[in-house]
Amino acid sequence: MSGFDYVITIGGAAGQGIATPGNILARLFARLGIHMYAYNAYQSIIRGGHSFLTIRCSDHEIRTHGDVIDLMICLNQDTMDRHLEHLGPNTSVIFNSDTIEPGKAADGVRLCPMAVTEIVGKGANKLMQNTVAIAVTCQLLGIEFKALEDVLNFQFSAKGEELMAMNVKVAWAAYEHSAANFKPASQQAPKPGRPLAVWAGNQAFAMAAAGAGVKFYCAYPMSPSTGILHWMAANGRELGIMVRQVEDEISVICMTVGAAHAGCRSMCATSGGGFALMTEGVGAAAMMEIPIVIVNVQRAGPSTGVPTKTEQGDLWQVLGASQGDFPKLILAPSSPLDAFQTIPEVFNLADKYQLPAIILSDLLISDETSTIDPELLDMHPLIDRGELITEVGDEAGNYERYKFTDSGISPRALPGIPGYEHVVATDEHMPDGVLISDEYTHPHKRRAMLEKRQRKMDGLLADLPPPAIVGDADAEVTLVGWGSTAGVIQEAIGQLAQAGVSVNHLHFKWLVPFHADEAVQLLSSCKRTIIVENNYSGLFHRYLRGETGFTVDGHIRKYDGEPFKPHHIVAAVQEQLEGGETLSVPYEEIIV
């Protein structure tokens, strides 16, 4: 693909301040109107361990961290030792020559040693090497120093004039040294364009919930969902949102259900381990027909698994959440923007159909940092609370909370309205809420009540958009995906097109209820289907086959904790078209 497309990596140990140079570069690119996507491969320890932040910047929108490395910033020897041998020609390597030995590099690798002590001065903060590296990066890319100076002043303004001035001084010295000693990078940054915004995936979830009218948010910190709690805690008071961190996920789900029963739009978030504790509460919300929204940010399992790595492993966990049959809504957004634009609709649907809604994210989406066009963000979406009774009306004194209706939806009265007193409990009940076991277990009323609730699924399915194939309808291959694989599949399709392979894309976001008839019709029209999943056993394929009876022709699966890169999918498709195995498991040479 022509144009500017450049990948910068920053490697070091936890505690070396990798996040700060990453944030500075992200803000810098956004201000210049350059699209950016960042993925951080880090370990589940507070200090030490190898972290490797990849920042891809481009003159067009991007949804993956790419295939190659163009520039590497080494903050310690370990990073140099792990990655140098894998770098190819025209790659630049910036490192502190006071503390790091470069080792043997491939032909064409450009080493950029910086004697940090000489530039900064003896006794300076060790983290100044990060400022040096950022300045060299900007100079190599042809970014004017004034743009970097503005971002440095913003970054360090809260820490005092002295530190701010020191960082600018050090950056200028490094910038001049780079200009005098190093060749420009293989690509040069484009001219500044219209500024973009920067957000993290979890911030998108939180902002969308706030815009959708959430007034209660509850969580227990569990990576990689904790960023939602951080945003809510920082902004909840100003936005009128009650935010609670409690002792465990059982308390989280119970408080969320209680707040929703009282009339608040309520949301909670966790990862798979925390969701395991929430499942009985999910069933309670379903039985009492109370609308709640739960975000499950998947990470590699089982148990505590690999806490800081990504995986699409919780699909069957949420499909089977809680015991018994009950209506629920399950979806898997494909990006932070998709989540932001969909979450208000999820709340409206949960309110309309009075059921629990589960949003499946994963570490790849929730922990990413990327640029976004602010014009795409609507903080005032349509809010529809459904059949919610908030004042005395005609049904006062004769109110049935679980009234039988053709749609399965019963008018929901907020607690405390005179004449609308009713029983709300987790046992099966009569239309007025009285438990059927209090009289005797009435078989036909149990059956009628369960059927009433399940009728909601017909209306809900009709409200959801069916899946659609993106691309040439007559393509040689159809790549099938769900959730976070959308971006990498689309980029792989572009690369395959350049290689002469025609590929289209069928992606699923709305999982329960499922458009089975439409899915069968689309899949049956495809010449060759290959499904892409970030798990071992093909969880979505098993679900797809169960709902439709359709079996795909090939599989591409990755389950090592790291996300797909475009070339993984490209190579797998080519191998399968050439008659290779129908199951491809990509292997990455670079050890992160």
- Does the residue 382 lie in any domain? no
Tokens of 377: 């963000």
Tokens of 73: 């910033």
* Angle of CA points 324, 327, 333, to nearest 5°: 120
- Does the residue 423 lie in any domain? yes
- Burial group, residue 90, by CB count within 10 angstroms (0-12, 13-18, 19+): middle
Q: Kindly report the CATH number assigned to the domain that includes residue 164.
A: 3.40.920.10
Do 167 and 232 lie in one domain? The reply is no
Q: How many CB atoms lie within 10 A of CB 152?
A: 25
- In three-state secondary structure terms, 333 is coil
CB 372 within 8 A of CB 337: yes
Check residue 158 and give its pLDDT: 87
Do 225 and 372 lie in one domain? The reply is yes
- Does the residue 592 lie in any domain? no
Say how far apart CA 519 and CA 506 lie, in whole Å.
Answer: 9
Check residue 589 and give its pLDDT: 67
Write the CB contacts of 462 (distance below 8 Å, at least 6 apart in sequence).
Answer: none
The domain boundary residue, chosen from 141, 175, 195: 195
Tokens of 181: 């000693």
Q: Kindly report the CATH number assigned to the domain that includes residue 553.
A: 3.40.50.920
Say how far apart CA 303 and CA 277 lie, in whole Å.
Answer: 12
Say how far apart CA 529 and CA 15 lie, in whole Å.
Answer: 45
Check residue 153 and give its pLDDT: 95
Check residue 442 and give its pLDDT: 78
Do 98 and 177 lie in one domain? The reply is yes
Do 328 and 368 lie in one domain? The reply is yes
Do 255 and 372 lie in one domain? The reply is yes
Q: Assign 3-class secondary structure to 98-141.
A: CCCCCCCCCCCCEEEEECHHHHHCCCCCCCHHHHHHHHHHHHHH
Say how far apart CA 314 and CA 316 lie, in whole Å.
Answer: 6
- Does the residue 591 lie in any domain? no
Do 473 and 457 lie in one domain? The reply is no
Say how far apart CA 571 and CA 564 lie, in whole Å.
Answer: 12
Write the CB contacts of 39 (distance below 8 Å, at least 6 apart in sequence).
Answer: 53, 54, 65, 364, 367, 368, 563
Domain that includes residue 25, residue range: 5-195
- Residue 381: cis peptide before it, omega within 30 degrees of 0: no
Do 150 and 299 lie in one domain? The reply is no
Do 171 and 39 lie in one domain? The reply is yes
- Residue 356: cis peptide before it, omega within 30 degrees of 0: no
Q: Kindly report the CATH number assigned to the domain that includes residue 246.
A: 3.40.50.970
Do 63 and 189 lie in one domain? The reply is yes
Single-letter amino acid, residue 87: L
Tell me the pairing of strands 92-96 and 292-298: unpaired
- Does the residue 25 lie in any domain? yes
pLDDT digits (tens, 9 = 90+) for 238-255: 999 999 999 999 999 999
Check residue 441 and give its pLDDT: 73
Which residue in 32, 28, 33 sits closest to 61, CA to CA?
Answer: 33
Tell me the DSSP string of 526-545. Answer: -S-EEEEESSSS-HHHHHHH
Low-confidence ranges of the chain (pLDDT < 50): 1
Check residue 1 and give its pLDDT: 47
Do 181 and 204 lie in one domain? The reply is no
Check residue 592 and give its pLDDT: 57
**How many structural domains is the chain composed of?**
4
Do 152 and 175 lie in one domain? The reply is yes
Give whole-number Cα distances, 547 to 231, 332, 369, 512, 519, in Å. Answer: 38, 17, 35, 10, 9
Do 9 and 148 lie in one domain? The reply is yes
| Element spanning 396, H or E | none
CB 10 within 8 A of CB 39: no
- Does the residue 230 lie in any domain? yes
Say how far apart CA 416 and CA 319 lie, in whole Å.
Answer: 34
pLDDT digits (tens, 9 = 90+) for 60-106: 999 999 999 999 999 999 999 999 999 999 999 999 999 999 989 99
Which residue in 267, 270, 266, 256 sits closest to 226, CA to CA?
Answer: 270
Crossing angle of helices 128-141 and 19-31, in 10° steps, is 30
The domain boundary residue, chosen from 168, 195, 222: 195
The domain boundary residue, chosen from 429, 463, 497: 463
- Does the residue 338 lie in any domain? yes
- Does the residue 64 lie in any domain? yes
